[in-house]
Structure 1
Amino acid sequence: MKIIGARQAWHDALHEHRPSALAVAAEQALIGKKSGSGDTKIMVMLENHDGQEVARVYEVRKEGVQETRSGRRLSESRCAHMLIAGLVLRAIDTLPKSLRHLGHFMYSPVATGNDLSIAHGLVWLGSGMESLTDRKKQRAYWMAMAALQSHKMMVNGGQGMGPGAVCMFVEDRTGEKMNPQNWARDWEEIWNALCTHVDKLDGQALKPVSAVVAAMREGSENDHEIAA
């Protein structure tokens, strides 16, 4: 598992990389090999702030470890992945429940409708839209979900929703016409406020994972300086 940034680390911590059936078979053959006791050094490849690959070495204790199945030991790459994933998941667990679900919706490869539902509630309850008229509030409620979807598209390398896409998104859920020609007059201010709010919550969700990534990068750079 290569550490590039907090968003990528969140995704990869919940994703097991197994590219093909042949790769799985090769890995199982490697796992099945017996090895000696003692500590095993695991090299983890990271990227520093300049985009250069650096290595961080961790020691994984094998002596005295109980096997749940005979002849099965984790390969070094699996150990490295589990080590980093454990640190990232522990950081995620420090977040309040609602922020965890928002982060899972944004970055988890196994995100569910429950993650979206809780994230939507978090965005809406803190959006400050209480002063809107009932009709505008109904549409703004679904615009909050659209803002989540739009932000997810952008942080994953795509383009966010434009006015036309947002209007169609809301129409599909309310059954009422929402004219994009009136966007600047009626909806642009609301949309911008919702998008800013989602971006702020995303930053809060990523904060503990970013700290883990920064600590691992700092450690890898220190190790690289010592080796040099």
Structure 2
Amino acid sequence: MKKIVLALFMALASLPLWAQSNATAGSADLDAEKRRLSAEREAIEKRYVEERAACYKKFAVEDCLRESRTRRRAETDNIKRQETAINDIQRQRSGAAELRKLDEKAGTQRSVDTPEKQQQSIQNQKDREQRAADHAAGRASTAAEAAERERQFQSKQQSHADEQAKAAQRRAEAPEAVRRFEEKQRRAAEHRADRERRNAQQRDKPRGAPLPPPPAEPGPAKP
């Protein structure tokens, strides 16, 4: 366990020192450093294979393998950190070189520009600003048109929803209307049947005996 801690400490401690030395030494041979790290990586892998073979001959195989893996991981991580630092330095140097080239080119261009070119450059800048303003106005107009289309669409959707609601209400009320109509028809039929029954009873009723003739009027009294 102490060996593992010591290996981790040495790996972490070596990175800042290396990065500091390369940051201050602008002429450091980064390619040589990469080759050195590649050789160290190969040596680590070779030692790891040998340690694994030796672990299988020991009693505490798992502990030995775990210690070997931990040591290999720490050393490999240290190499990765150094490679990352090298890549960062190379990118910084490349970016600085490109900036120097651009500055030199811009300085040379400014020194040879004539008043006519300077005026043309100013006019080009104004044209770009005008195009940007026109583009912004076009976007605003497009947004307004889109908003109006959305409003019309929502209005149509609302009208359609209202029509659907009315149709649903009519469908819901239709059975009740049919029931009322059928009830009215039933009552009318019952009324007709009752009237016809009474009429039939009146027709079938026997006629009464004729009334007796009225009594004869008395004649004039004889003297």
Q: In proportion to residue count, which structure has more strand?
A: 1
What TM-score, normalized by structure 1, do the two folds share?
Answer: 0.22
Q: In proportion to residue count, which structure has more helix?
A: 2
Kindly name which structure, 1 or 2, has the bigger radius of gyration based on alpha carbons. Answer: 2
What TM-score, normalized by structure 2, do the two folds share?
Answer: 0.23
